[in-house]
Chain A
Amino acid sequence: MSRFVLKRLLLSIPVLLGVSVVVFALVHLAPGGPVRVMLGPLSNEELVRQIRLEMGLNRPLYVQYGMWVFDALQGDFGVSWTVQQGTPVTDIIVERIPLTVELSILSMITAVLIAIPAGIISAVRKDKPADHAARIAALSGISIPDFWLGIILIMIFAVQFSFPWATGGWTPPWVDPVANLQQLFLPVITLGTAYSALIARMMRSEMLDTLSQDYVKTARAMGIGAREIVLKDASKNALIPVVTVIGVGLGQLMNGAILTETVFNLPGIGKLLILAIDRRDYRIIQALILFIASVFVFANLAVDVLYAYLDPRIRHDGN
């Protein structure tokens, strides 16, 4: 098992290096380079030359890349240019992490709590009303964009019923945990819905596969109750591929977080990214993209390891 983990860990290094090259190249190979990114198309040549000199942008690209990666590895992404002038980029990002992490974790828990039972019931009651209802709900869930769902929820809860907590904003949990959970209620529903629909669809399909397998039929023939089979054996086996979907769906969760934070005006990572783009703060953009892609890579790594732990065949094949 440890060999498998080590191998997977080593394999992610070239991917992360590649990601860093893409992120670096994005800014430096854009027409005009970083200075143009910062100043926009309306800047005078003399100013551009001066800034390039001051920022060391006239050095060879590989030197600049090396310096950037070296600093980045120590958590140094320079200081912000326009979002919070003079503040280290890392500080700005770290300050916004708790909200996005809280939002994502709560949404993921909500999604799993809805999706796993829904998927199981749907499979066990295949082609019965409960199955149809669950499938239509799941299909709607993956078809409704989270940003529109958020707007509709605001319209119902904040405008129609005037609940004061429904208007957005964020209070840190260590300041007021109750207000914090109230404010995150609608964003979590918004973000969790699409995610749960994705998992429920997968869970149903895997559960149907498992239920049609020989050992389940044998267990039934031996007189073991259907309830016991479903809860003890079949669900456990069907859960294995679902772990992967939860992992692969992380990308969706991150995309959704950006949109949800925008709709509900939550000062998290996603909102920061949009703000940085709006203000052309390329250092924040660079750092955030690298950060988000790294989290994604490591999350997938964690999912692979979990998958191997659940299904021994994988780690033996891997070795």
Chain B
Amino acid sequence: METNMATTDQTDEAVPAAQAPGTHHSQFEMFWKEFRRNTLSLVGSAIILTMLLTALFAPFLAPHDPTTQFEAPDGEHNPMPMGTEMLVENDAGEIVGTTTAYLGTDHHGRDILSRIIYGLRTLMTVSLGVVGFAMALGVTAGAIAGYYRNTWVDEIIMRFMDILFSFPSLILAIAVLGVLGVGSTEYGSFTLPNIVKVIAVIGVVYIPSFARVMRGSVLKEMEEDYIDAAKSLGASDRHILVKDIAVNTLPTVVVQGTLYMGTAVLASAALSFLGLGIQPPNASLGLMLSNARGYLYSGEWWYSVFPGLVIVVTILGFNLLGDGLRDALDPRNDGGER
């Protein structure tokens, strides 16, 4: 799943460090000029914007409730093909009208288009959560390790990161979910919601990548004169870390985060596909594909094709955007695409 792993082993070289304060505005303008020149990055941005808006406005965009089970008309059965006029029932079970299933229905007669839209919402929530979670913990750990470089603090943090890094990403998530069980977990009176659990188990393996990038950036930043100046002025460690170093290294980390979004989407969908992620009846694209496998040989192709396509386009969008951001920030860039 590490589609962007190429960047992780290069740690601090992967993304160029942020520029010194004061030049921020012109740096951003240069970056934007570079980014705009690349058609593919703009396509990526457009895809991601569309996907985010769709996820955000899912309740308004979805033609039906994702859990409503429609009746098939005479001569049809579930999963119904594209364009079928499904029967709408009232609470008493009487047929009161028909409505179109544009992308067909699944094996329970639920509208696939609506489930894809809600599934995209779930996928985006989980993936953004994964990257946010890993970023928050990784950046904190990396910043502390970098600031207290070559001390026991640094040593303990980075060795722990090595251990986390020893697990292929999905394997650790599968293991934890396998042991804790799928669905929400009860700790006495405290209930850990399933979605939080899924986010944490996928996110935990990305923590080392952020920690390494952050540590590298902090080490580079520590060489700057202004840190010595702040220290001689009596600024506290915390102040220097949070106010000076963090602010300057943040753009680096944000780009790193974008590069990891594609991987996070892939991992979230994969976990759902294995039945360990989001649980039914919630809509999830991976779960749809898993269910659709049972209908391959009977020819219900629409059930597997459309949810998969949405996953592919989302990942492609994030990869295009990530590549574009990295290239635009890369000082080695000669102006053309690399």
Query: Which residues of A are interface residues toward B (Cβ below 8 A)?
Result: 14-16, 18-19, 22-23, 26-27, 30-31, 37, 40-41, 127, 139-140, 142-145, 147-148, 151-152, 154-155, 158-159, 194, 198, 201-202, 205, 208, 244-245, 248-252, 254-256, 258-259, 262-263, 273-274, 276-277, 282, 285, 289, 292-293, 296-297
Contacts and interface: CB of A to CB of B under 8 A. Distances in A.
Given A30-B180, A147-B289, A252-B168, 20 more contacts: A31-B185, A41-B181, A127-B337, A142-B262, A147-B273, A155-B301, A205-B338, A245-B5, A245-B6, A245-B9, A251-B1, A259-B270, A259-B273, A259-B274, A277-B174, A277-B178, A285-B175, A292-B167, A293-B171, A296-B168
Interface of B: 1-3, 5-6, 8-9, 159-160, 162-163, 166-172, 174-181, 185-187, 262, 266-267, 269-270, 273-276, 286, 289, 292-293, 296-297, 299, 301, 304-305, 308, 311-312, 315-316, 319-320, 323, 336-338
B178 A151 contact: no
A154 B304 CA distance: 11
A26 B168 contact: no
12 contacts: A15-B162, A18-B160, A151-B296, A154-B296, A155-B296, A155-B301, A198-B6, A248-B2, A248-B8, A255-B2, A256-B1, A263-B293
Given A40-B181, A251-B169, A277-B276, A201 B6 contact: yes
Contacts of A254: 168, 170-171
A174 B320 CA distance: 45
Max chain A CB contacts within 10 Å: which of B6, B181, B262, B299?
B6
A293 to B, nearest CB: 5
Contacts, number: 170
Contacts of B262: 142-143
Contacts of B269: 145
A139 B169 contact: no
A19 to B, nearest CB: 5
Contact of A293 (B167, B186, B276): B167
Nearest to B172: A289
Contact of B179 (A27, A41, A145): A27
B187 A258 contact: no
Contacts of A41: 181, 186
Secondary structure at chain B's binding surface: helix, strand, loop or mixed?
A: helix
Contacts of B5: 198, 245, 248-249, 251-252
Contacts of A296: 166-168
Contacts of A155: 296, 301, 304
A253 B94 CA distance: 52
A258 B319 contact: no
B299 A159 contact: yes
Among the interface residues A15, A208, A263, A289, which one has the most CB atoms of the partner chain B within 10 A? A289
A151 B292 CA distance: 9
Given A14-B159, A30-B179, A255-B168, A139 B2 contact: no
Contacts of A297: 166
A142 B269 CA distance: 14
Nearest to A22: B163
9 interchain residue pairs of minimum CB distance: A277-B178, A251-B168, A18-B163, A148-B308, A143-B316, A255-B170, A142-B3, A143-B315, A254-B168
Nearest to A242: B6
